[in-house]
Amino acid sequence: MNFDLYGFGPALAAGALMTVKLALTALCLGLVLGLAGALAKTSPYKPLQWLGGAYSTIVRGVPELLWVLLIYFGTITAMRSLGEVFDIPDLSLSAFAAGVIALGLCFGAYATEVLRGAIIAIPKGHREAGVALGLSKFRIFTRLIMPQMWRIALPGLGNLFLILMKDTALVTVIGLEEIMRHAQIAVTVTRQPFTFYLVAAFIYLGLTSLSMVAMHFLEKRAARGFVRTT
Amino acid sequence: MEWEVIYKWLPKFIQGAILTLELVGIAVILGLILAIPLGIARSSKRWYVRSLPYAYIFFFRGTPLLVQLFLVYYGLAQFDAVRASFMWTYLRDPFWCATATMTLHTAAYIAEILRGAIQAIPPGEIEASRALGMSKPKTLFYIILPRAARIGLPAYSNEVILMLKASSLASTVTLLELTGMARTIIARNYLTVEMFLTAGVFYLLISYILVRGFKLLERWLRVDACQGR
């Protein structure tokens, strides 16, 4: 066992940073999509309900890898014709952008269900109290529903984030320079596949453990003021 | 959309779908068999029984399946001992590598589901069986496991769907299952969107059938009636 990893240590660390960046960016997009999906599914309008349901059903039924491939390779012609309209030659999605869109899309589909459950779990009286106080619909959502929703949704979202963190490995198939990609490069040079994939595995293990700890503190913070009754 | 081209390649997609089903079928059945002792050991009260399955589950749930697959398919070739052993004929084959990795991966998840189910059994039922004079193994086989199977079944069906989607990773080790087949066909006709969407429709169809099948199984096992709340 060689402890400086044949000089590939810094490259793997850079890959880990890229993985974290990708996961956090996809998380932001996924939360927005999930919130939109949950609002659509709980709205009183039938077409919106149908749209939210179709989004979460279709996206959850197709493998993440297929979404990554479809969004990266499938948008080449569309992006090129879009580039011609705006007069930008060779417009295309970068591997990072495609990865963020694909993973955000998948995260959002699952988050739709988690957030919908959280919205439903808030007692009806709270919303009615807001209406009685003359708050606008928007105010009721941002001041009454949202702050309470996070507390209920946090454990579910935490699980989804762990899944997202592991799914970032898929983006290596479209060539983004994250952990797996750097491990693969190191393998072709050193011919030590087991060593480097094991190191990659331990980096992922470290990242997931770290996010588990972070999640624990977030949950604790969100639950402050609530006495746990068991 | 080029419908006639999709129609032309349909037999190839069906071939890919069959390989996908084989991968998933073997993985979830062998995974379940492996998970039963793991899950029972994981829910033990003694720390030394509990710790080894815990470490196993922690590793397999904390790392991506892709990394595990590469570790088995590319990684094991690093050791001459593996290359020299009789196992090499299997470990050289991407199909056996993919099924072995998926089995180990899903076993960790199913073991965790099983632990949750075992711990969700009302303690009174176990105490009742002990009070009736049933031995510990008898309690395990007649009370705990049948009860845990019913509590854990909905979560197990979720896991099967997740494995169906995870099986697309087998395309990265040259297997021609649905995703791999779609990529091969795209290399021939360059119809990226059409071919990937066709593969996606196949996945949706398979997961729909699986969900329906598990609903029937739940009704047959009378899962609702057994929850007894």
Q: Residue for token digits 């697309």?
A: B168
What per-residue confidence (pLDDT) applies to A82? Answer: 85
Query: Which residue on chain A is closest to B179 by alpha carbon?
Result: A66
- Residues A35-45 as b or e (16 or more Cβ within 10 Å = b): bbbbbbbbeee
Candidates B62, B71, B79; nearest CB to A209: B62
CB-based contacts of B141: which residues, under 8 Å, 6+ apart? none
Domains of chain B, with CATH numbers?
Answer: 3-227 (1.10.3720.10)
Candidates B68, B172, B199; nearest CB to A66: B199
Q: Give A187-196 pLDDT, tens digit per residue.
A: 999 888 999 9
- Residues B147-169 as b or e (16 or more Cβ within 10 Å = b): bbbbbbbeebbebbbbbbbbbbb
What's the pTM value of the predicted model, to 2 decimals? 0.89
Q: List the structure tokens of A8.
A: 């590939």
Q: What share of chain B is helix, strand, coil (3-state, %, to 5)?
A: 85, 0, 15
Across chain B, mean pLDDT equals 91
Domains of chain A, with CATH numbers?
Answer: 9-222 (1.10.3720.10)
Residue with the bigger pLDDT between A48 and A90: it is A48
Asked whether the beta carbons of residue A66 and residue B166 sit closer than 8 angstroms, the reply is: no
Asked whether the beta carbons of residue A74 and residue B192 sit closer than 8 angstroms, the reply is: yes
What per-residue confidence (pLDDT) applies to A1? Answer: 52
Asked whether the beta carbons of residue B66 and residue A74 sit closer than 8 angstroms, the reply is: no
Say what the ipTM of the complex is.
0.88
Q: Give A129-162 pLDDT, tens digit per residue.
A: 999 999 998 899 888 888 888 888 998 999 999 9
pLDDT band at A229 (very low <50, low <70, confident <90, very high): low
Asked whether the beta carbons of residue B75 and residue A61 sit closer than 8 angstroms, the reply is: no
Q: Give B77-111 pLDDT, tens digit per residue.
A: 888 888 888 888 888 899 999 999 999 999 999 99
Residue type, A197: Y
Asked whether the beta carbons of residue B78 and residue A191 sit closer than 8 angstroms, the reply is: yes
Query: Which residue on chain A is closest to B178 by alpha carbon?
Result: A66
pLDDT band at A165 (very low <50, low <70, confident <90, very high): very high
Query: Which residue on chain B is closest to A192 by alpha carbon?
Result: B78
Q: Give B29-84 pLDDT, tens digit per residue.
A: 999 999 999 999 998 889 999 999 999 999 999 999 999 999 999 998 888 888 88
What per-residue confidence (pLDDT) applies to B99? Answer: 95
pLDDT above 60 for A26:
yes
